[in-house]
Amino acid sequence: MLVATVLLGSLLAAPEWVDHAVWASVHPADVLFPVFVTLSGCGLAFALRRGVRFGVLLRRTLVLLAAGLLYSAVVSWSWDVATWRVTGVLQIYAAVVVVLGLLHLVTRSWWGWAVVTALFAVADTVLLSGWAERCVGGVLTRECNPSGAIDTLVFSAAHIYQHGGAGHDPEGLVAVLGALVSASAGVTVGHLLLAARRTPRERPPGATAARPSGVTAARPSGVTAARPSDVTAAPASGVAVERPAGVFVERPAGVTAAVIPLVAVAAAFLAAAVALTWAPTLIGAQPVPMMKRLWTSPFALTLASATTIALLLGHLLVDRPATGRVLRGVTYPLLALGRNSLLVYFGSHVLMSVLNRPLPDGPSPGQIIASTVAVAGHVQLSYTAVLLLFWVLLTSLLHRHRLYLRP
């Protein structure tokens, strides 16, 4: 996903079919950020599985909001406070982080997050189809959509996308609800992956709980797990946990244990996307379109399904206990990019914004660099390769020194 972000960002002249869709459609550029949000949700499931640290959550949210305002100013190259855009991708990310953090106080189980995902998806669909019912022909347009009304009311036209001229804000409050669908789906996958990594094995009551191989820690005697969720929250694999109705022994499962759960949840996301698309037709309304501009639930869930399958393939390939040296070497750049995903995703956008801005008396810095580094006349190919190499080398260097951009 990060490689695709760098590749698309490096295009000196992006074809129309690659660039963001104007309205009710999905183009390749529309896919990147939602996939990033879905994977971030999965990562947050791992990060928050043992608890929520309010100080970290608050600091992360404030830093993301501040960085988002700075990002808006750099991209638009305008520092006028009266027209400063308040909404943006980093602001969406901040909202997602704070909501997911708080909801981890409510549930840390995969099924709980499946319910949260369903709740957000249904709410988003009701909002969009309810609005569409009031629009001409029952169709959401740039002139008649909830984002245009809500975001303009909350932030005022001067502080949203294209100063309200586009009739909507693809990173406004309505899009936040769609992003929460994507992120919650990712959290569901993350907790499902965590649950699949452990295979509790029941022992008959009274039997001695022998430690399986790989045991690194055990709970103190007398500690009882009152709920199955306590078993999954055990600090290390292979922990023997006594329960009133018997004994569970946790042991690490192989990567293949995740296949059936993740394929099932991916199929469920896809089925939910189809159901939510056509559900409004049962009451005579138009189907909810799959589109990024309003980040509809069918769009979010379809992408979540595809992302889950891609994540599973990566899990099977890379997370095996005995990964070969060659495979580790090949995947090292991807690991380095992923460890600094925030830096690469948002950094590449800022960098390209600066490089694509034409100089007062000539072409943009990007065009100058592209023509300078061109090999055998391949301007675009060489430019893309140089940019990709830059990010791989930068993140590899940072990864070597364990330096990561984390708000």
Give the footprint of another protein on this chain (CB under 8 A): 50-56, 103, 105-108, 116, 119-120, 123, 126-127, 130-131, 133-137, 141-144, 146, 149-150, 153, 167, 174, 177, 230, 233
Amino acid at 384: T
Amino acid at 14: A
The nearest distance, CB 98 to another protein, in angstroms, is: 13
The nearest distance, CB 41 to another protein, in angstroms, is: 16
Amino acid at 264: A
In terms of CB distance, is 230 or 242 closer to another protein? 230
CB count within 10 Å of CB 407 equals 17
The nearest distance, CB 51 to another protein, in angstroms, is: 5
The nearest distance, CB 144 to another protein, in angstroms, is: 5
In terms of CB distance, is 9 or 146 closer to another protein? 146
Which residues on adjacent β-strands are paired with residue 248?
A: 202, 241
The nearest distance, CB 177 to another protein, in angstroms, is: 7
Amino acid at 378: H
In terms of CB distance, is 11 or 230 closer to another protein? 230
CB count within 10 Å of CB 217 equals 11
**Phi/psi of residue 90, each to 5°?**
-70, -35
Nearest one of 192, 209, 198, 211 to 237, comparing CA atoms? 198
| Spatial CB neighbours of 53, under 8 Å, sequence gap ≥ 6 | none
In terms of CB distance, is 133 or 319 closer to another protein? 133
- The pairs formed by 131-138 with CB atoms below 8 angstroms and a separation of 24 or more are 132/280, 132/285, 132/286, 132/288, 133/285, 137/286, 138/285, 138/286
In terms of CB distance, is 131 or 391 closer to another protein? 131
The nearest distance, CB 332 to another protein, in angstroms, is: 32
The nearest distance, CB 17 to another protein, in angstroms, is: 21
Nearest one of 55, 21, 68 to 176, comparing CA atoms? 68
The nearest distance, CB 357 to another protein, in angstroms, is: 33
In terms of CB distance, is 123 or 385 closer to another protein? 123
Give CA–CA dist 65/154, Å, rounded. Answer: 16
In terms of CB distance, is 109 or 348 closer to another protein? 109
| Spatial CB neighbours of 340, under 8 Å, sequence gap ≥ 6 | 395, 398, 399, 404, 405
Give CA–CA dist 395/48, Å, rounded. Answer: 25
Extract the tokens encoding 232.
Answer: 């999954």
In terms of CB distance, is 126 or 386 closer to another protein? 126
The nearest distance, CB 149 to another protein, in angstroms, is: 4
The nearest distance, CB 280 to another protein, in angstroms, is: 14
Among all chains, which residue has been given the structure tokens 């009311």? 153
In terms of CB distance, is 172 or 186 closer to another protein? 172
In terms of CB distance, is 145 or 307 closer to another protein? 145
Which residues on adjacent β-strands are paired with residue 142?
A: none
Dump the DSSP string for 23-34.
Answer: SSS--HHHHHHH
In terms of CB distance, is 173 or 262 closer to another protein? 173
Dump the DSSP string for 111-167.
Answer: HHHHHHHHHHHHHHHHHHHHHHHTSGGG---SSS-HHHHHHHHHH-GGGSGGGGTTS
The nearest distance, CB 49 to another protein, in angstroms, is: 8
Distances in whole angstroms, Cα of residue 373 to Cα of each of 9, 270, 280, 352: 17, 44, 53, 16
